[in-house]
Structure 1
Amino acid sequence: MRLLDRLPELKWVKVGSILMTREGAPLVRGLIGRGLRVFLDLKWHDIPNTVAGAVTAARELGVSMATVHALGGRTMMEAAAGAGGTDLALVAVTVLTSHDPASYGQATGREAVALVDETVRQAKAAVSAGLAGVVCSAAEVASVRRVLPEETLLVVPGIRREKDTAGDQVRFATPGEAVRAGATHLVVGRPVLQAPDPAAALTQFVEEARCAVS
Structure 2
Amino acid sequence: MVYELLAATGVLALLTMVPGPDMAVVTRRAVAAGRGDGLRTVAGITTGLLVWGVLSVAGLAAVLAASATAYTVVKLAGAAYLLVLGVQALRAARRGGHDEAATPVRTPPPAGDPWRTGLVGNVLNPKIAVFYTSLLPTLAPHGLSPHTGMALLVLVHAALTVCWLGGYVLLLSRARAFFTRSSVRRGMERITGVVLIGFGLKVATAQA
Which TM-score applies when normalising by structure 1?
Answer: 0.23
**Which structure's relative contact order is higher, taking Cα pairs within 8 Å and 6+ residues apart?**
2
Highest CA radius of gyration, 1 or 2?
A: 2
